[in-house]
Amino acid sequence: MNENLPIGFFDSGLGGISVLKEAIKLLPNENYIYYGDSKNAPYGVRPLEEVVELSLKSIEYLVDQGVKAVVVACNTATSAAIIAARDKYTDLPIIGIEPALKLAADSGDSGKILVLATERTLAEEKFNSLFNKFNKGRTIIKKSLPELVNIVEAGEVKEKSYDYLKEELKDTPRDLESIVLGCTHYPFAKKEISAVLGEDIPIFDGSFGVSKRLKSILTQQNMLNKSNKKGSIEFRNSLNSKEIINLSYKLLNLK
């Protein structure tokens, strides 16, 4: 396979751009195609079979573009469809993401961990095996924030997320050891989550871990782009509107 081919990123919408940002930091010379299925977002409230079907369709789109690897930059799609995707595309590296629960548990003692994710992610066996592994001797609190996905998709994080989070998290304990963001949309409201729950509480997500895994796999398979030039970034979206593409670039460039 040609090492100069792009890496495909897929998410239910725009959330996976938070993962793409980390990958670009680690692999700046790679070319990227990001496909967001915003037309069908959010995935987190959809039935399992529908999430699998939508995910495979999106991955097929990226495969048709000639990508050398696919990053499923969506926790919901990873937990629901990663096995089916790998079974279908046996010769293609497909990297998924999962809530950084291990990272949070390893970094603390035995305090309370809050996991924020979609309903579908929290219901899946993949997450619950993680939950059962790290729930011994500590309290792990699970909470979904479905409207936060829509707020990010609408480009209204600054305008609406704080008030929404303040209401949704009003009964959440404040004596937390750490917070895990188990949806790739949520990092775009990281400042607002900290403002509501406490500025001193560490927040973890899986973006850096996925990027390291991507680099490791490309290195093992001798597929790293050897160009010294900064790579290209191309956004595609199922909504196929100028507004959603412009918002994609805006989210990518947020500090």
- What the block records as the tokens of 70 is 């696919």
Work out whether strand 7-11 and strand 203-205 pair parallel, antiparallel, or are unpaired: unpaired
Kind and range of the H or E element at 49?
Answer: helix 48-64
Cα–Cα distance measured from residue 243 to residue 227, given in angstroms and rounded to the nearest whole number: 32
Question: In the annotation, is 74 catalytic?
Answer: yes
Rg (CA), the chain: 18
| Token pair 């989210």 in the structure block, residue | 251
Alpha-carbon distances of 180 from 13, 87, 113, 163, rounded to whole Å:
20, 29, 7, 20
Is residue 240 annotated as a catalytic residue, yes or no?
Answer: no
- Rounded distance, CA 8 to CA 20, Å? 10
Residue 183: CB partners within 8 Å, gap ≥ 6? 15, 44, 75, 76, 116, 117, 118, 121, 145, 148, 149
Options 14, 19, 74, 189, the catalytic residue: 74
Helices 75-88 and 48-64: crossing angle in degrees, nearest 10, is 60
Please pick, among 140, 183, 214, 251, the residue that the annotation labels catalytic.
183
For residues 142 and 121, the answer to whether their CB atoms sit within 8 Å is no
* Residue numbers annotated as active site: 74, 183
